[in-house]
Amino acid sequence: MDATPARLTSFTRDGLTFDVTDAGPLDGDVVVLLHGFPQKATSWAGVSARLAEHSYRTVAPDQRGYSPGARPRGRRAYRLAELTADVVALIDRLGTGPVHLVGHDWGANVGWSVAAHHPERVRTWTAVSVPHPVAFSRALRSADQARRSWYMAFFQLPRVPELVLSRTGDGGPALLAGAGMDHAALERYRHEMVDGGALPGGLGWYRALPFISATPRVTVPTTFVWSTGDSAISRRAAQACAGSVSGPYRFVEIGGTHWVPDQQPDAVVDAFLAGVDGSR
C-alpha cells in the first residue's frame, strides 16, 4: 500500500522558498490554485473548503513576490517564464502527476502559460476572470478594454504605485473598493500586501510585462469563468477567449464583480466540477 503523502508547507526553486497552503484529503485528486493581484493564497479559502467537500486536495502557493522567501529584486525576475517555471516546480514537487489547475486574475495569466507550455502536467484548466493572453491583447485595441486597463500603465511607474496603494482611507483601498472588493478582503489586503511587504513584488508582475513571452493555444480541457460586473475585463475579451483553445472548452458567465473566488466560491467550484465531468 502506498504511504499517505505528507502536507506540503513550502517548496523551493532557484534559491527561492514559496509558502504553500495544503488542505483537503491528502489522498484526493490535487487542485493547484493560483491567486492574483493584490491577493495571496488566502483568497482561495472558500473555494478550498468547498472542494474538500468533494474530496479534492487543494494546494495554493503564495507566488513569486508574495512569499517572504521568494521576493527577488529587479523586474526581469517577474517575467511570465519565471512565474510559469515556479508553478511547474510546485507540480513536480508534489509528485502526484498531472493536476487540476485553477487560476484567478494574474494567476489565470500564469495558468494559461502553464497549460499551454506544459499540457502533460495539467488534467484540466479553469481560468477565472482573465482570458487567454492573445484574447486580452486583441481586446486592448478597443477603447472599452483600454479604458478598463489604465492601471497597467500606471503600475509601470517607479515607487508611485506603492505609495498610492499603501495609503489608508483612500488611494489603494478606494481603488480596490471601487472595483468591488469587499471589506473583509480589503482588511486582508492591508495585512498581507501592505503590512506584509508583498506589494512591491506583486507590482513586479506588471513591471515585467515588457518582457512577456507569447502563450500558444491551449489543448487541455479548459473552463473560463467571467463575471458580467468585472471592471477589469470586457465582454469582448471574454468572448474572444475561445479562439485560443483548441481542446474541449466551456465558457461560464456569471454575475458579480472581479473578485470571484472571494465572493462566489460556489460558482468557481460548480464550474470546475462541470469541467472535470466534461473532460471524462
d(CA 264, CA 257): 9
**Does 171 score more than 80 pLDDT?**
no
Fold of 10-279: Rossmann fold (3.40.50)
CA distances from 3 to 6, 23, 26, 27, 66 (A): 9, 18, 11, 10, 32
**Tell me, what's the pLDDT at 170?**
55
Q: Is the pLDDT of residue 3 over 80?
A: no
pLDDT at position 134, please?
Answer: 97
The residue written with cell numbers 502536507 in the block is: 7
Least confident piece of the model among 78-82, 166-170, 231-235: 166-170
* pLDDT tens digits along 212-271: 889 999 999 999 999 999 999 999 999 999 999 999 999 999 999 999 999 999 999 999
pLDDT, mean of residues 87-92: 98
pLDDT at 1: 41
Please give the single-letter amino acid code of residue 135: A
Phi (first) and psi of residue 223, to 5 degrees: -120, 130
Better-scored residue on pLDDT, 95 or 279 = 95
d(CA 90, CA 32): 9
Given a cut of 90, whether residue 189 has pLDDT beyond it is yes
- Nearest one of 190, 176, 185, 193 to 67, comparing CA atoms: 193
Strands (E), the chain: 10-13, 16-23, 29-34, 56-61, 99-104, 122-128, 222-227, 249-254
